[in-house]
Amino acid sequence: MAFIKNFTWGVATASYQIEGGAFEADKGLNVWDVGSATAGRIFEGHKGDVGCDHYHRFREDVKLMKELGIRAYRFSVNWARLIPDGTGKISEDGKRFYLELLEELKKAGIEPWVTLFHWDYPYALYLKGGWLNPESPKWFENYAAVCAELFKPYVKHFILINEPECFIGLGHFTGGHAPFLKRPAGEVIPAAHHVLLGCGLAEKKIRAIAGDVKIGTAQAYWPFLPYREEDYELAKTETFRCHEDFGGPALWLDPLLKGEYPADYLAWFERNGFRPSAEDMALIASKLDFVGLNTYSGNYVTKENGALKEVVPSPSVPKTDTRWNVYPDVMYYGPKFIFERYGLPIVYTEDGVALSEWKDLDGRINDDSRIDFLKRYLRALHRAAQEAPVEGYFYWTLYDNFEWAEGFSKKFGLVHFDPDSLERTPKKSAYFYKKVIETNGEEIFR
């Protein structure tokens, strides 16, 4: 009944969402430090300046993870903490912080999975055009080289980028995330291409420096689902189709794993005046060891009168506090679609649920709905794992943290975090997840 032996069970966080210490030592600013200061962008004016104060409390946090039986920890490096200007001089303090964190994890027997870039782009590079600048792939490659060199004694798993769908789509196209730009597709498509070039260059650089390591990405993945079993191919096609935005997985994974953009994306690029060169495609093509997926929900599709129809959820479908539909099927069909297209092992680099909840008068957080969510999603994943190589699962997230434009209002954590007292309190689900890990998944069937 269990998952494969050596299945990776972890939790995930991201630097801007938890670190705080925004103005500590010689750390450079990033686009979230700067962008979140403008009124009206973030829920009730929340900021990540203090975050969960992880920068000062990382030892306590590692201890907490150990107590909760967490085996792997996915976190991201704040690029401008390590290299204040994005390129050039390395910060001694940034270096110290990440090496001390890695040392602490090592002592606790927790395996680090390091994401190089989770949206907090160095402001100094943003002022030079950021991802819109054709030099940006090189900047990322250099940064990856610094990380590989510094972290190689500790790190065996690198995740190049987190959800380009969001930092490009939301960050540069629709404007809801830093750097809060709304640029036309003709400008954003080259930026997306630069991200991919950066990944291609970084992948080769990391292998050259760190040798025998596993490298992947973490995609925002909201698959389309078959409403009826006969809608399987339809849902799969819809999942990988170009929707003329930056959200689809094929835009990001096909170039890296097949060395080409799908034809429908190329046609969209062409209409927007962009044609990628063969030399660039050769640099982008990469040997990834796994596909990392961040999945929370999806959409059902079917056919009606011969035409595709998105199914409106019945009012009885449970909704999370972010108003995402609870659709466990995403964890069954999602990995199958990815495996059928790319043939690589799959790691869930994120999955989780935000609930409206608070500490009860007795000081406890009885988040039974999160436990139920975990059971439903992990059972579906277990089913998928009988048909596709699913190698790991990272719950999003360790503790409640800064949920981007939603500030601290959306709570995904296994551990409650109080932004006033900075206190961490494990929720009931944290103990459930501990049992899931101890039993390699069997607890989800009890």
Residues marked active site are found at 163, 350
Please identify, using beta-carbon distances, which residue of 55 and 412 lies nearer to ligand NOJ: 412
> Cβ of residue 184: shortest distance to ligand NOJ, in angstroms?
25
Residues 225/298, Cβ–Cβ less than 8 Å: yes
Please identify, using beta-carbon distances, which residue of 32 and 58 lies nearer to ligand NOJ: 32
Residues 159/349, Cβ–Cβ less than 8 Å: yes
| 408 lines the binding site for ligand NOJ (CB under 6 A) | no
Phi, psi (rounded to 5 degrees) for 439 = -100, 10
> Cβ of residue 17: shortest distance to ligand NOJ, in angstroms?
6
- Among residues 321, 413, 433, 293, the alpha carbon closest in space to that of 372 is found at 433
| 400 lines the binding site for ligand NOJ (CB under 6 A) | no
C-alpha radius of gyration, the chain, whole number:
21
Question: Which member of 350, 351, 367, 400 binds ligand NOJ (CB under 6 A)?
Answer: 350
Please identify, using beta-carbon distances, which residue of 3 and 394 lies nearer to ligand NOJ: 394
Question: Which member of 162, 217, 286, 297 binds ligand NOJ (CB under 6 A)?
Answer: 162
Which residues are CB-neighbours of 307 under 8 A, at least 6 positions away? none
Residues 144/116, Cβ–Cβ less than 8 Å: yes
Beta bridge partners of 390: 346
Q: How far apart are the first and last CA of the chain?
A: 11
| 396 lines the binding site for ligand NOJ (CB under 6 A) | yes
Site for ligand NOJ in 263-302 (CB under 6 A): 294
Paired tokens of 119: 């949206």
> Cβ of residue 54: shortest distance to ligand NOJ, in angstroms?
14
Distance CA 181, CA 337 (A): 32
Please identify, using beta-carbon distances, which residue of 17 and 299 lies nearer to ligand NOJ: 17
> Cβ of residue 277: shortest distance to ligand NOJ, in angstroms?
31
Please identify, using beta-carbon distances, which residue of 170 and 283 lies nearer to ligand NOJ: 170
Neighbours of 402 (CB within 10 A): 28
Tokens 């009890």 belong to 446
Distance CA 402, CA 399 (A): 10
Q: How many residues sit in the footprint of ligand NOJ (CB under 6 A)?
A: 9
> Cβ of residue 45: shortest distance to ligand NOJ, in angstroms?
19
The CA angle 383-386-390, to the nearest 5 degrees, is: 90
Which residues are CB-neighbours of 399 under 8 A, at least 6 positions away? 18, 52, 61, 413, 414, 415, 416, 417, 424
Q: What dihedral do alpha carbons 152, 112, 197, 273 form, nearest 10°?
A: -170
The CA angle 413-154-17, to the nearest 5 degrees, is: 25
Residues 9/432, Cβ–Cβ less than 8 Å: no
User: For ligand NOJ, what does the binding mask look like between residues 303 and 342, x meaning CB under 6 A?
Assistant: ----------------------------------------
Please identify, using beta-carbon distances, which residue of 131 and 296 lies nearer to ligand NOJ: 296
Please identify, using beta-carbon distances, which residue of 53 and 350 lies nearer to ligand NOJ: 350
User: For ligand NOJ, what does the binding mask look like between residues 189 and 218, x meaning CB under 6 A?
Assistant: ------------------------------
> Cβ of residue 115: shortest distance to ligand NOJ, in angstroms?
9
Cα 9 to chain centroid distance, Å, stands at 16
Which residues are CB-neighbours of 50 under 8 A, at least 6 positions away? 20, 22, 419, 422
| 136 lines the binding site for ligand NOJ (CB under 6 A) | no
Cis amide linkage into residue 397, ω under 30° from 0: yes
| 163 lines the binding site for ligand NOJ (CB under 6 A) | yes
Please identify, using beta-carbon distances, which residue of 158 and 261 lies nearer to ligand NOJ: 158
> Cβ of residue 335: shortest distance to ligand NOJ, in angstroms?
17
Site for ligand NOJ in 8-37 (CB under 6 A): 14, 17
> Cβ of residue 5: shortest distance to ligand NOJ, in angstroms?
28
Neighbours of 6 (CB within 10 A): 9
Question: Which member of 403, 414, 433, 444 binds ligand NOJ (CB under 6 A)?
Answer: 403
* Binding residues for ligand NOJ (CB under 6 A): 14, 17, 162-163, 294, 350, 396, 403, 412
